[in-house]
Amino acid sequence: MSIRLGTRASALAVAQSRMVADALSRASGESVELVEISTAGDRSTAPVAQLGVGVFVSALRDALGAKEIDLAVHSYKDLPTAPVDGLVIAATPQREDPRDALVARDGLTLAELPPGARVGTGAVRRLAQLHALGLPIETVPIRGNVDSRLRRVASGELDAVVVAYAGVVRLGRADEVTEILDPRQMLPAPAQGVLAVECRVDDHDLYDALRALDHVPTRAAVDAERALLATLEAGCSAPVAGLAEIVEHGAAVTVHAPAADKDGEIYLRGAVLSPDGRVAFRLSRTGTLADASTLGRLLADELLDAGANEVLGVQQ
């Protein structure tokens, strides 16, 4: 009998799930079949900020709990920070490049877009950071999968879109990217570029098989970024950004999580912005991989002390 892997039906979700299915099949020697599941987020055209946290994952988790599937693959940044009884994140495969990317007409970069250019994105975080840059562009909130967003540039409806670079890479469309955005301009969402592979906590054999897919530095980076998010009491649709990078010789050297031991260091950056980008708090902190979650909580506390609580509406 095949292992049943639950996935959203979008092209990106299926591509990501197929990557995990192939890796699991190699590790376990078992066949893995994809089971497509429609989520509330897929069926709605409302902005994600209005739909709420977890809108893309609840149906998958319900199917896991009902034993209709054996595991689920999520984009980690879509997951609420609170754990779910009976379920466990068994693996975080090695992170794809977490940066954001611009896809623009005529091969333009962000700085080259003309005044009044229409730039679309679906994330409050990206919209806020675009506003903060002070460029003479018009930002357009959009929904839809990666394919539909890129089509809006190709059709001329938009001059550019900002999307997660990891998604474009996984769809095999990286050649359409006109600029990979520096995190100093556009700090990514916590856990961007990371997949979360979830199963039932009592499915010990599957859990053990999935552990072979886990990448320790990626898990540490995610732990730091999501501890930051949880301590700020902010969901995946809040104007919060965070990126943990591996530190070598006192400097963050890569946006990917390399092979590193648990005693390595992490450089964590965090940002909280108002939706219009006029108010921004940006701080950073260094800690160890072994204490990644503590690092995230400490940086969040510093951001709140600096005044980020006023932007987020968090009571201290």
Residues carrying an active site annotation: 78
The 3-class secondary structure across 208-241, one letter per residue, is: HHHHHHCCHHHHHHHHHHHHHHHHCCCCCCCCEE
Residue 113 CB coordination number (10 Å):
21
Residues in a beta bridge with 91: 197
- What count of other Cβ atoms lies within 10 Å of the Cβ of residue 81? 19
Q: Tell me 101's DSSP state.
A: E
Phi, psi of 4 (to 5 degrees): -95, 115
Nearest to 307 by CA among 273, 281, 274: 281
Phi, psi of 79 (to 5 degrees): -80, 135
CA atoms within 13 A on the CB side of 4: 15
Q: Are 69 and 189 in contact (CB under 8 A)?
A: no
Count of all residues that appear for the chain in the document: 316
Helices (H) and strands (E) in the chain, counts: 11, 14
Q: d(Cα 162, Cα 148) in Å, to the nearest integer?
A: 13
Assign 68 to helix, strand or coil: coil
